Amino acid sequence: MTVIPAANPGASPPGAPSLPLRHALLALAVVFVWGTNFVVIKVGLAHLPPLLFAALRFTFVVFPVIFFVRRPAVSWRKLAAFGVAIGAGQFGLLYIALGHDISPGLASLVVQSQVFFTIGMAAAIDRERVRAYQIAGLALAVGGIVVIATHSAGSATPLGIVLVLGSALGWSCGNLISKSAGSVNMLALNVWASLFSAPPLYAASFLFEGWPRIAAGLESATAATWGAVLWQTVGNTMFGYSIWGWLLARYPAATVSPMALLVPVFGMASSSLLLAEPLPAWKLTAAALVMAGLAVNMLWPRRRRGR
């Protein structure tokens, strides 16, 4: 999983064009990478401690890419804030949760609560107006989270749900910071901000995981482990942000952003197929509620424009 650039569907002009087939397939490839990433993280965690894994992810995001990507027109202060929010906040907590406390499929679903954290924080900090459809979407998503919390035995612990909600909050902080930076290249923002993501993760890894566990993880790492690390960097960041940014530069946000609804679909499906994560009725019900909440939030403004 990676930070999906926040977009305002209501900002697009009426009659937003549809994506041609080849560009729709590119968008589908991006959300496939972002959705299946939860299973890939689980593969890496088989050998690497969570905080070390996260630190390595951001290390390879920085080097050697930083030598080929121009620094965005963003202050060092905002780069540092974004890097810490996404590094320690979003991914640090997510990796810890995926270690033992939540299944990849459920994590891909619960972390989508970042949409509603972002709306609430924007209302509190920037005094943005909260619309009725956003409240309705939030109510649906909260219903899904409640279903997960009351039926999650064997798939998630209470700590796992709290950690992933904390991850979503870190993602939301990153969204607001990137929004305050204005129109910037998201790939460049992620690469340069990663300079500030890796150091606190390495420090936390040495403090909480300890050198013996770090050394053992590195020694036992297999080709699949390092492949998981590269999937985070090459797949999620370089491919994902480059293509997503390219699409957003050519089409209205309302045309591209709804594709992100498929991220938890791919997350749950890949976890079921590759890790044999069960999909009982309660889990599908929770997914339907959360996805419905996200869909209302993304698609309602477009429907009103059409009317």
Per-domain residue ranges of the chain:
20-116+158-275, 117-156+277-307
Distance separating alpha carbons of residues 176 and 9, to the nearest angstrom: 16
pLDDT in tens, 28-58: 999 999 999 999 999 999 999 999 999 999 9
Instruction: Determine contact, residues 186/245, Cβ cutoff 8 Å.
Output: yes
**Residue 15: per-residue pLDDT:** 47
Helix axis angle for 158-180 and 76-84, nearest 10°, is: 160
**Residue 99: per-residue pLDDT:** 92
Cis before residue 64, ω within 30 degrees of 0?
yes
Instruction: Determine contact, residues 123/291, Cβ cutoff 8 Å.
Output: no
Distance separating alpha carbons of residues 182 and 241, to the nearest angstrom: 17
* Main-chain phi, psi angles of 14, to 5 degrees: -60, 155
Write out the H or E segment, with its range, that includes residue 132: helix 132-151
**Residue 70: per-residue pLDDT:** 92
**Residue 198: per-residue pLDDT:** 95
**Residue 255: per-residue pLDDT:** 74
Q: What average pLDDT values come out for the chain (307 residues) when binned by 10 residues?
A: 44 57 91 93 95 95 90 94 93 95 92 87 82 88 90 85 94 88 85 95 96 96 95 88 82 76 90 92 92 84 60
**Residue 11: per-residue pLDDT:** 43
Which residues fall within 8 angstroms of residue 36, CB to CB, at 6 or more apart? 266, 267, 270
Predicted TM-score (pTM) of the model is 0.87
Q: Tokens 């499906």 appear where? A: 269
**Residue 261: per-residue pLDDT:** 81
**Residue 215: per-residue pLDDT:** 97
